[in-house]
Structure 1
Amino acid sequence: MRLPPLPTIRDLIRMYKLSAVSKLSQNFIMDMTLNHKIVQNAGTLTGCCVCEVGPGPGGITRAILEKDVDHLHVIEKDRRFFPGLQMLADVTGKLTAHHGDVLRFEMNNLFPESFITPWSESPPKIHIIGNLPFSIATPLIFKYMESISTHSDAWRYGRVPLTLTFQKEVAERMVAEPNAEDRCRVSVVVQNLCHVTVKKIIPGSAFVPAPDVDVGLVHFVPKKKPIIDLPYRLVTKVTRTVFHHRQKQLKNNLKALFPDDQQNLVDAMIGDADIDPGRRPISITNEEFKRLCVAYSRICDRLPYILNYDYRNPSSKKNYLSIRAVEEELNSVELQREQSKTF
């Protein structure tokens, strides 16, 4: 599909005085050849419903529309870009612009019900694409990973793939293997739920204004079954705790999962997972994280209050002490009953 003659991206920026806003981490791609390459790395889009997050002046938007998509939804927070986006909507009849913050925007009713595909089958003809502002990229991918884990939001339609930009170092963390120095909790969380690939490194000089870092284009395809098939909240709590101090031994980091008077549970968890307590966090494989999460889940099944315990939260500690006080009182009453029976 070829678009009719339109003002260039540079022309639109001049016409509507669309200077980048630093507090929104805005960086534009003027080169349409590069915009087409970004879209090409998303795969076949013909006949697909696409959602672009953060379209800005519409460079990637134009490249998507030229792929003859069924429909394109764009989510933009900055209203200054809407005249240019509306121009594309008018000439194609295939674009709907939504005003909103992508961190809060829900996509559960964005696409036709006919596009729903069972999770066990191939991904649906839906795709999410975006040149993300650096300030929201990491929080947004954690939000999307939670939705993937619960098959909610856009992922109620099936295993919807994503193609998104991140700072190069963040992109490299997502694909980092065990023992890589840039391995971190995002590595485990993303690899647990998705097949993830860095498709392209884009030099910072390709953006306007040019950031101080290069950019990685990352492609995600949700897995049919995660490595760690446990609630997202539990998995992220364990991985966050393990990587809290990257240079510390595993055993020392896991202490933060449990109250001071129940530190014996650290040894129980490590023993159940059958992992050397002296290991560094970056050396632990995804399968070993699975064993750690399963061991922690078993403890939480037996002692439910442990999952809600947060050593950084004073109210959590207060709640824990209240629960322990009730337990001790019940145990005391039970002991008195047993002693009365013996007499």
Structure 2
Amino acid sequence: MGTIDGLPPLREVIRAHDLVAKKQLGQNFLLDLNLTAKIARLAGDLAGSDVLEVGPGPGGLTRGLLAEGARRVLAVEKDARCMAALAEIAAVYPGRLEVVQGDALALDVAARLAPPVKVVANLPYNVGTELLVRWLTPPAWPPFWQSLTLMFQKEVAERIVAKPGDDAYGRLALLAQWRCDVRIVMTLPPEAFTPPPKIHSAVVHLVALPAPRFPADAAVLQRVTAAAFNQRRKMLRSSLKGLAPDMEARLLACGIAPTARAEEIGLEAFCALARNLAGPAPG
């Protein structure tokens, strides 16, 4: 197979730099440059945007992002072994790729990026959900990014897009859908990766809304959904009783049956309850 940029195929890059994927770093490398270019395209038009990539590894997706016209890519990689391979890509795209060795959970990446910003990443499995939650809960909204195009384990992707009544429905779905349009745009089998993981993967595309879908205080909504889903088998009048002494009355005031369970309640109703709890007690 030809390459998209004159650089060697990824298998040769991995062999040349001895980049055996490390389980403790959550690494599973995607080697097909056609697939990495497709993921880059799923992020939309990259021309004129800075792109944040976390966990580039040997740089397959990085190459796709640059070939698809990203104005600039900031690649954050924890594994020092990958630096030489990423430097070779930077040499082919002078001034368009900045590689930072470090932990994405500990870096202030927003300060290194100029808007508009898109985040595109095959996230390491061991930090993917934590990074998503951080990106969805900044101190102020809208966030520094316009969209997130992220690969997760398929089970995590299904939790992000789940609806009330789905087995996967929970806090992650509410958090993502409160502030974003979300959809799964691609699924990949284990054999697409080296080494093959034991599970399927999926790419989720999240577009930040200008304002949350329904008004609510973020901290109150977090408390409500945490209490509700931490005891998801209980009726809401039981799981939420610690939040207010008159919880049953508050639920009824919001049109929510006190005997309902968390998995039955939609985002709009949870936001209504958060607003109720942030205000005075019902008369």
| AA aligned opposite 1:283 | E
Larger Cα-atom Rg? 1
Residue range with higher mean Cα deviation, 280-289 or 221-230: 221-230
Structure 2 counterpart of 1:287 = 268
Structure 1 counterpart of 2:154 = 168
Q: Please point out which of 177, 181, 193 is paired with 2:179.
A: 193
Structure 2 counterpart of 1:150 = 140
Q: d(CA) in 1 for partners of 2:184 and 2:278?
A: 32
Cα pair distance change 1:4/1:247, threshold 3 Å? closer
Identity of aligned residues (%): 33
Q: d(CA) in 2 for partners of 1:36 and 1:80?
A: 23
For the 8 Å contact 1:197–1:218, the answer to whether it is kept is yes
Q: d(CA) in 1 for partners of 2:166 and 2:70?
A: 39
Structure 1 counterpart of 2:237 = 251
Q: Does 1:210 find its partner at 2:196?
A: yes
Structure 2 counterpart of 1:138 = 129
Q: d(CA) in 1 for partners of 2:273 and 2:5?
A: 57
Q: d(CA) in 2 for partners of 1:235 and 1:209?
A: 40
Superposition deviation, residue 134 in structure 1? 1.4
Superposition deviation, residue 257 in structure 1? 2.8
Superposition deviation, residue 181 in structure 1? 1.8
Superposition deviation, residue 3 in structure 1? 5.7
Structure 2 counterpart of 1:274 = 255
Superposition deviation, residue 268 in structure 1? 3.8
Cα pair distance change 1:248/1:104, threshold 3 Å? same
For the 8 Å contact 1:246–1:280, the answer to whether it is kept is yes
What does residue range 1-343 of structure 1 map to in structure 2 within 5 Å?
4-93=5-94, 94-112=96-114, 115=115, 124=116, 126-147=117-138, 150-151=140-141, 155-156=143-144, 160-257=146-243, 264-298=245-279
Q: d(CA) in 2 for partners of 1:68 and 1:185?
A: 35
TM-score (norm 1): 0.77
TM-score (norm 2): 0.92
| AA aligned opposite 1:127 | K
SS at match of 1:7: coil
Q: d(CA) in 2 for partners of 1:267 and 1:4?
A: 62
Q: d(CA) in 1 for partners of 2:234 and 2:66?
A: 50
Superposition deviation, residue 271 in structure 1? 3.3
Cα pair distance change 1:204/1:4, threshold 3 Å? closer
| AA aligned opposite 1:131 | N
| AA aligned opposite 1:78 | D
Superposition deviation, residue 4 in structure 1? 4.5
| AA aligned opposite 2:141 | H
Q: d(CA) in 1 for partners of 2:18 and 2:256?
A: 58
* Higher RCO structure, 1 or 2 (CA under 8 Å, sep 6+): 2
| AA aligned opposite 1:293 | A
Q: d(CA) in 1 for partners of 2:74 and 2:38?
A: 20
For the 8 Å contact 1:28–1:207, the answer to whether it is kept is yes
| AA aligned opposite 1:254 | L
Cα pair distance change 1:92/1:249, threshold 3 Å? same
Q: d(CA) in 2 for partners of 1:4 and 1:215?
A: 26
Q: Which has the larger share of helix?
A: 1
For the 8 Å contact 2:217–2:278, the answer to whether it is kept is no
- CA RMSD in angstroms, aligned pairs only: 1.8
| AA aligned opposite 1:143 | R
For the 8 Å contact 1:3–1:92, the answer to whether it is kept is no
